[in-house]
Amino acid sequence: MHHLSRRLLLQAAGSAMLPAGLAAASGGQVAGLKIAPFRIDVTPPNGHGCCGGWIKPIEGVDDAQEAAGFVLLGAGDPIVVCAVDWTGILNTAHLRWRSAMADAAGTTPDRAAVQCVHQHNAPFACLDTQKLITEQGDLPNTMIPEFFEQCLERLSDAIRNAVLRAVPLTHIAHGSGEVLQVASNRRINLSPDGRIVSMRGSSCRDENLRAMTEGLIDPQLRTVAFCNGDQKIVCCHYYAVHPMSYYGDGRASSDFTGLARRKRQQETPDCLQIYFTGAAGNIAAGKYNDGSREMRAILADRVYEGILRADANLQHAEIDAVSWSTADLLPEARMSPSDEELAAAISNRSLRVVGRNRPAFELAWKRRVESGLPITLSRLKINDVNMLHLPAESFIEYQLRAASMADNQFVAVAAYGDGGPWYIPVREAWSQGGYEVSVAFCAEAVDDELTAGIRKLMTSG
């Protein structure tokens, strides 16, 4: 286990607001910018636990899982952004990943963001949780530490090599395109008194639930393209939906969003395609997905069509301003269950794996809160294009709020950053109940804190 130094913790935490960047002196093009794309394979080995260890572990590979990102050079200290085809990266593991990227790029962890896509046949990387699980001696792994370290080594090598091959960055492009018949709200079936009756999940075979309205979603897939003149070097795609068609069969896969990304990558070998999952804590494909095998390819094609629509609408402009801002928060852990109750559940061998591993995740979060290590939100702004990085399974309302704060600027949201808190509902969800609330590790005040952090970032200039 690698221990984090006090210097590293303070460096990663930053301050309440850390704007830094580069703006043109006279409104003209920013000179000297470069971008360095990188990509590595992070497909777990056979036997690796999936989604917390309570579904079948990896026993084969349908398609590779990847970590892909870019280093932005020339806007102050380097900036690093990465998306990973894993369920989540949490707590000290998240800081370790950011720190590895920062060290390789020659910057500090507060200028690095890593977001997960959130496929479920994939690792749920929390080193703190894994330590609690290992102490029990009989529980399946959720993260093999040696594999995590191997990924960090490959990541660091890839970033260092990418920086050596960085290419000029002169233009930014942005556009959006509607994705049809994929996203739907999970929390759609309420009783007359406003309580959640049943959930429409990633897949759903209940025809009554599938017949209900889509509910509150964000139907737009947003694309941000980084260009050298007219040549696209990196395209980042953002869409809010749980990215699972089916899972639990032990087959590693990037699932339908990854397949859509890969199809576009094959068409554009000179441009790195990166996919980010938006604030999809309460958004899934259940209205349109019955969980059958053939639906994976159908959903992938629908997301791919959204990528093409966004690409057709790209607006291209010279870069005249770049900034990076961060905001820290440390939401209070919920009071119940207590540390003692969580520890008792973890060691209770009469419970199912999920009833023991899940409390380990929550206890890891509570100890993290006690340690004072905050979550870091960040925003990369280029011209009037905002790329916002949020934590965990944030509800879609946070994405929509961010857009409303941006004064008609373009906003692309990537959630599933630091996954320590698990779900982050909005305040009104607590009175409704439902699955998401039952596994939200923060108290209700997280709504005010996260919204305030978003507001700071979106209004920081």
Instruction: Give the pLDDT confidence of 187-234 residue by residue, as tens digits.
Output: 999 999 999 999 999 999 999 999 999 999 999 999 999 999 999 999
Read off the amino acid at residue 372.
G
pLDDT at 72 over 60: yes
Instruction: Give the pLDDT confidence of 405-443 residue by residue, as tens digits.
Output: 998 899 999 999 999 999 999 999 999 999 999 999 999
- Please name the helix (run of DSSP H) or strand (run of DSSP E) that holds residue 90, with its range, or none: none
Q: What is the DSSP letter of 461?
A: -
Which residue has better confidence, 356 or 18? 356
pLDDT at 29 over 70: no
pLDDT value at residue 14: 45
pLDDT above 70 covers a percentage of the chain that reads 94
pLDDT at 16 over 60: no
How many degrees, rounded to 5, is the angle at CA 376 between CA 252 and CA 54? 30
Burial class (CB in 10 A: 0-12, 13-18, 19+), 221: buried
**Separation CA 247–CA 50 (nearest Å):** 10
**Separation CA 414–CA 405 (nearest Å):** 16
DSSP assignment of 99-133 equals: HHHHHHHTS-GGGEEEEE---SSS-EE-HHHHHHH
Indicate the domain borders of the chain. 6-173+245-279+311-458
- Return mean pLDDT, the chain: 94
pLDDT value at residue 433: 96
The C-alpha torsion from 307 through 313 and 319 to 321, rounded to 10°, is: -80
pLDDT above 90 covers a percentage of the chain that reads 92
Q: What is the pTM of this model?
A: 0.94
At a CB cut-off of 8 Å and minimum separation 6, what does 271 contact? 225, 231, 232, 233, 234, 235
